[in-house]
Structure 1
Amino acid sequence: MARYYRDERAAKRQPALLPVRSQEVDEGYRLVGPGGTLTPVVAHVQWLDHHRAGPDTHVMISFEDGTKIEFPFDALLAAVWHDEQRAISEPELGTAAPAIWGKAEESWGEGP
């Protein structure tokens, strides 16, 4: 697993479950997914400037396992630092599960 030096200290000062909007997700965090499950670690976040809905409307979140999920801006999510040592209960994770989840990557920028 990669090391995330730039966020290590700041992440430890945040709550264990950090509310975040999709465009503010940062590398080194795991997201609480549907059903209260944790995603793999976020490896990269890219704003989609040439999205068919217009610039600054969607973000592509890439995970360390190679999956990519597209979210609209302002989707409410919960993040957990990849090396979080504080216990988070299953009911807390269930409550933090998002109402709306993104969709798997599609090749929206290619072809007609």
Structure 2
Amino acid sequence: MAKCYRDERAARHKPVLISKSAQGVEEGYRLVGPGGALTPIISHVQWLDNHPDGPDTHMMISFEDGTNVEFPFDVPLAVIWNDEQRAVNETDLLDVAPAVWRTPAERRC
């Protein structure tokens, strides 16, 4: 029991906003988008093997609302867990928000 308690306490001390490269993003998180707005929850992450720039160079992030955004590898992103209970300061969100994203990708069937 004590180990579980220590893990829970450690989890509470992790930062709310986490920096990840595009290829390190996982389902269940939300991205901090342009203007500091949080995206819908990420439902699927796919590496694009047939990208014109070559395999393992780009990825597609799909959100619960059906939108998709394509990112090249190594783009720094800020993420937050979808069920995070701690408040996030708006200034902190604006500090990590990207200036712009490319146009959301069309849904591929």
In the TM superposition, what are the counterparts of 1:1-112 in structure 2 within 5 Å?
A: 13=11, 14-99=14-99, 101-106=101-106
* Contact 1:57–1:73 (8 Å) recurs in 2: yes
Structure-1-length-normalised TM-score: 0.80
Amino acid at match of 1:29: Y
Cα displacement (A) at 1:100: 5.2
Following TM superposition, by how much is the alpha carbon of 1:96 offset from its aligned partner in structure 2, in angstroms? 1.1
* Amino acid in the other structure paired with 2:85: Q
Count of residue correspondences:
99
Please give the TM-score of this superposition, normalised by the length of structure 2. 0.82
Structure 2 unmatched ranges of 5 or more: 1-6
The structure with the largest strand share of the pair is 1
Give the structure with higher Rg (CA): 2
Amino acid at match of 1:76: P
| SS of residue paired to 2:40 | strand
Structure 1 unaligned regions, length at least 5: 1-8
Residues 64-103 of structure 1 show CA distances to partners (whole Å, capped at 9, x for unaligned) of 0000000010111100000001110110000010245243
